[in-house]
Structure 1
C-alpha cells in the first residue's frame, strides 16, 4: 500500500494540468499575448507621464499551486489557475502613492472570478479590466481609465527570455511604446506607456530577484534593462547576478541586443520596511552611456496577494547613444524578496 503522502502527491499531480517550462533554444512569437500553460505568467502595463504629474503600474499574475510553488495541498482543492492583480498610482504633484491589490482568494471575490482570453486579449479580475479593442487596448482599474495604442510592433527581447536554469526562466515579449490617453484620478493624461507579457517557471522573490528598467529615449528608441539575481545569502547586501539582458528598440520598431552591457548601482535607499534598494544607476553598453535616478524614492510595494516586496516607480536620466545626447524616462522595478505581514 502506498503511504498517504505519496498518494496525495500523485493525486496532486493528476489535478494540475501539464505545464510547460521555457525552452532556451526556442524563442517565443512576438504576437503571443494570450494565456499559456506555464507555472507562472504575468501581464504588465506602466507609464511615467511627467506632463500630468502621474506614474502608474498595473499587473495581473497567473499561476498554479504545484509542489514546487506550493502550498502543495492547495493544488488538490484548487488546481488553478489562480490570479492576483497589483495597481499602484503615484501623484507626483501631491507626493502621494496609492496601492491596491486583488486575488482570487480575497474575502469579497468569488473564487475564479478572473478571466483571461485571447484573441482578442481580454483580461478581467472583478472590475479591473484590460480589453483589446481593434488596434488599441482599454485599461480600466480603480482610478485608471485609459486607451493604449501601440506605436511600434510587439518585440521579443533577446535571447527570448529572462533568467537562467538555476533561478528559472521567463519568455519575454513587449510593446515598448504605446500612445496613452484618458484619465487617472479624474485628471486628463496623455503620453506613452510600456506593456509586457512574461511566462515560464520563475518564482519572483523566492528564486529570483531583479533590477529592471523600461525606458523611452528622446531619440525615439526604447531600452529594456534586466539584471537577474539570486536571493542574497546571510550577510550579503544583494545576491549574485546571474544574468544581464538588455535590448534597444529603434524608432522604426527593430530590436537588437545591447552588447557589453554593464549596470552599476550608484546610490541605495532604505525603505521604511528596512529593505535596501539600489535606485540610482550607471548604465553602459556598446554605444550607450546613461545615468538614471528615481523621480521619487518612497515607491516600495509590500504585497499580500503575491507575498513579494518590490520597488516600482518613475525614473529619469540622460547620457548618450552613439555619441549623440539623449534623455531617458520610464519606470524601474527592483524586487527585494518575499514579504509576510
Structure 2
C-alpha cells in the first residue's frame, strides 16, 4: 500500500492542477511526508491538455456508465456535501470527495507504451478528502493513492477507483458504494458512505446511508457545463435530492444525524481557461423544495469579466439552465480567514424566478488546509428584506 498523508485541519470542490500532480507523483514513490502546502495552484487547470479527450456538448450522458471513472479525461471527481442535524438539533456539515487525475492520455500513449498493470504502476492518481464541521470546529483528513486503468479488467484490486455498476468509488477503506442488491434497479439510488480516520479522541468520520428522493440533474446543455465565454467546459451532473441518515464521529464522539445531501459528478480535460484564477460555487436546498446550483468563475467572461452559470431545480427535478445574464452573484462582505480576506456573505439573484437571496456562512473558519487549499463550508440563505431563513447549502471558493 502506498504511503498516505492525513491532516486534521483540510480542498476543492476541487481539482488537481499540475502543481498537485507533482506532489502526488512524489508520494507515489517515496515514504517522505508531503511538501509544504501551496497557497495557489488552480491556474494549472487551464494548462494545455493535448491528447486527452475534450468535454463538449455533442456527448450524451449515459447511466449507469457515467457514474464510473472516465480515465481518458484529465480530471474528475465524486463530490458530496451534506447539511445535517444531530439528535439535539445542532447543525453539522460534512464533505467527502474523491478526485482523479490522469497521467497518460490514451490518444497520445499507445497501449504498448503504457506501464503494465502492477500494484506499483500508475496511470491514474487519486486524492480523497473528508471534512466534518460543527460549530467552530472544522476537522479534515486527506489521503492519496494511484491506480492503473487496466487493473480491474486484469483482476487486480486497485487502491483507489470508481466503478459504474454496481456503483463503487473508493480510496483504501473510504468508500461510497451502492446499497442496491437488485441487478435490474438503478444502483445509484441508494448509497452507503463509510470513512473514518484516527483513534480515540482524534477519531473522525462517518457511516451514512443516502437515499435519492428525486432524479439526477444534468447541468448546462444536457450535461455539458460551459465554464468560459470561449466555450470550454465539463460534463456535469448532480444528485441534489439525497436524504442522509447515519452516524458522524468528531473528536471521538459519535452523533446520530439526518439531513440533506448534494452529490456532484464532473469530469473534464480543461476546466479553467488560462486567465481564470478560481471559482465561487453554491449548492442550495431551499425550504420550499426548490434547489439552486450557481457558480462564478473569476475571469473568462465577456469583456474580460467573470463567467456565471447555474441551474434552477424544481421540487420534481425539472431543471432550467441559468446563463450569465440570468444569474447575479455578488459578494457583500468578507471575513479574515487564514491570513486573507474571503467573501462569506453574498447576494444571489435569479430575476426570471423573482428570487433574491442573501447567502451567508455562519462560521467563517472553514479554510481547507490541504495540499491545495481552499474555503468550503455550510451557508444559510435568507430573505434580504426580512432576514427569514429560506434554506441551507454549501459554498466552495478557490483561488483566494
Between the aligned partners of 1:24 and 1:35, the Cα distance in structure 2 is: 19
Between the aligned partners of 1:150 and 1:121, the Cα distance in structure 2 is: 14
Q: Post-superposition shift, 1:258?
A: 3.4
Residue correspondence of structure 1 range 223-234 to structure 2 within 5 A: 223-230=292-299
Task: Look up the match of 1:151.
Answer: 213
Confirm or deny that 1:327 pairs with 2:373.
no
Structure 2 length-normalised TM? 0.67
Task: Look up the match of 1:58.
Answer: 96
Between the aligned partners of 1:252 and 1:30, the Cα distance in structure 2 is: 19
Change (3 A) 1:262 1:200: same
RMSD: 2.9
Between the aligned partners of 1:84 and 1:21, the Cα distance in structure 2 is: 22
SS at match of 1:187: strand
| Higher mean displacement: 143-152 or 79-88 | 79-88
Between the aligned partners of 2:355 and 2:54, the Cα distance in structure 1 is: 33
SS at match of 1:56: strand
Contact 2:277 2:399 in 1 (8 A): no
Confirm or deny that 1:120 pairs with 2:187.
no
Confirm or deny that 1:280 pairs with 2:348.
no
SS at match of 2:67: coil
Write out per-residue CA displacement over residues 84-139 of structure 1, whole angstroms, 9 at most, x where no aligned residue.
001110122xx21111000017xxxxx95112111121011011000111231000
Q: Post-superposition shift, 1:27?
A: 5.2
Confirm or deny that 1:89 pairs with 2:132.
yes
Q: Post-superposition shift, 1:284?
A: 1.1
Task: Look up the match of 1:49.
Answer: 84
Write out per-residue CA displacement over residues 229-254 of structure 1, whole angstroms, 9 at most, x where no aligned residue.
249xxxxxxxx654211111111111
Task: Look up the match of 1:101.
Answer: 142
- Correspondent of 1:213 among 282, 299, 306: 282
Contact 1:168 1:201 in 2 (8 A): no
Change (3 A) 1:128 1:85: same
Contact 2:299 2:307 in 1 (8 A): no
Change (3 A) 1:29 1:211: farther
Confirm or deny that 1:34 pairs with 2:68.
yes
| Higher mean displacement: 205-214 or 191-200 | 205-214
Contact 2:174 2:195 in 1 (8 A): yes
Change (3 A) 1:25 1:208: farther
Confirm or deny that 1:268 pairs with 2:334.
yes
Confirm or deny that 1:170 pairs with 2:237.
no
Q: Post-superposition shift, 1:65?
A: 2.6
Confirm or deny that 1:296 pairs with 2:363.
yes
Write out per-residue CA displacement over residues 205-252 of structure 1, whole angstroms, 9 at most, x where no aligned residue.
985511011110011011101111249xxxxxxxx6542111111111
Contact 1:52 1:189 in 2 (8 A): no
In structure 1, stretches of 5+ residues that fail to align are 1-15, 68-74, 106-110, 232-239
Task: Look up the match of 1:19.
Answer: 52
In structure 2, stretches of 5+ residues that fail to align are 1-48, 106-113, 147-156, 181-188, 197-204
Between the aligned partners of 1:130 and 1:26, the Cα distance in structure 2 is: 26
Contact 2:227 2:272 in 1 (8 A): no
Between the aligned partners of 2:368 and 2:328, the Cα distance in structure 1 is: 27
Task: Look up the match of 1:13.
Answer: none
SS at match of 1:104: strand
Q: Post-superposition shift, 1:28?
A: 3.2
Q: Post-superposition shift, 1:275?
A: 3.1
Between the aligned partners of 2:121 and 2:91, the Cα distance in structure 1 is: 42
Write out per-residue CA displacement over residues 172-212 of structure 1, whole angstroms, 9 at most, x where no aligned residue.
10011200000001200011100110000236798551101
Confirm or deny that 1:139 pairs with 2:217.
no
Aligned length: 292
